Amino acid sequence: MIKLTNITKTYQSGKVMVRALNNISLEIKKGEFILLVGPSGSGKTTLLNIIGCLTRITKGSFRLADQEVSHFPDHFLSALRRKKMGFIFQQFNLLSGYSTWENVTLPLLPTGISEKKRKARAMKLLEELNLETRADFMANELSGGEQQRAAIVRALINDPEIILADEPLSNIDMVNVNIVMDILAELKKKGKTIITSFHDPKTLLSRLGDRTVSFQSGNIAKITDGNMNL
């Protein structure tokens, strides 16, 4: 379903050229749960951003459902992202001037679905994540764990096939860690393709993985089948 072949991604920062990913190849099947591990700066977020069509590759081939998408124009990539991807960011990226329900339905705005339907869909998901009482709160009035759950609702609102989660457990407490873990386990059961990064290999998240991809300075150091059984 996702096929990355000899991908290189470089960033130019002033005079410095950073090679964030160095000629990596990776194939991900529908329904797989992939764990991305590796030290800070090793390329995990860069890979998630590439798969999520948020950033373009510098070299190589990126195929999604048998289509080469690396040369798609921007508006095509946005449409693809809206239709297929749910992105849970490292920072939650909620808009503070908007309420919880408005935030979580932002991805639905370009679809033209009526406000009533958008709100109904939001309320259903907010309820599943025990957030329905916070629907009308402004995003900045939510606790860290609530913001994380709202960010998850926003990622799931378009019922995406592919869920990309960048360190989804890093800024929340144990109770919320368990809630997020349960959600990811549930999504896995539903057959969603899930790709998630994390720092700490001892996190419970490692139990869910079908394969673990270890990054080292922009290279894939190894790919192990199954989780790490820690």
Ligand X SMILES: Nc1ncnc2c1ncn2[C@@H]1O[C@H](COP(=O)(O)OP(=O)(O)OP(=O)(O)O)[C@@H](O)[C@H]1O
Tell me which residues touch ligand X (CB under 6 A): 11, 13, 18, 20, 38, 40-46, 199
Residue closest to Mg ion when measured from CB atoms? 45
Least gap, CB of 58 to ligand X (angstroms): 12
Q: Which is nearer to ligand X, 109 or 221 (CB)?
A: 221
Least gap, CB of 209 to ligand X (angstroms): 17
Size of the site for Mg ion (CB under 5 A): 2
Least gap, CB of 45 to Mg ion (angstroms): 3
Least gap, CB of 35 to ligand X (angstroms): 13
Provide the CA 19 distance to its chain's centre, in angstroms: 22
Name the token pair of 49.
């951003």
Q: Which is nearer to ligand X, 42 or 100 (CB)?
A: 42
Q: Which is nearer to ligand X, 22 or 227 (CB)?
A: 22
> What is the length of the chain?
230
Within 13 A of 28's CA, how many CA atoms are on the CB side?
28
114 binds, among Mg ion, ligand X, none (CB under 5 to 8 A by kind): none
Does 214 contact Mg ion by CB under 5 A? no
Q: Which residues contact 215 (CB under 8 A, 6 or more apart)?
A: 36, 37, 38, 39, 42, 43, 44, 47, 221
Does 176 contact Mg ion by CB under 5 A? no
Q: Which is nearer to Mg ion, 91 or 130 (CB)?
A: 91
Residues 31-60 binding Mg ion (CB under 5 A) are: 44-45
Name the token pair of 55.
């950033």
Least gap, CB of 100 to ligand X (angstroms): 26
What is the identity of the amino acid at 69?
V
User: What ranges in the chain are assigned the alpha helix state H?
Assistant: 44-51, 74-84, 100-104, 115-128, 144-156, 174-189
Q: Which is nearer to ligand X, 105 or 218 (CB)?
A: 218
Q: How many CB atoms lie within 10 A of CB 148?
A: 24
- φ/ψ of 41, rounded to 5, equals 85, 5
Give residues in contact with Mg ion (CB under 5 A).
Answer: 44-45
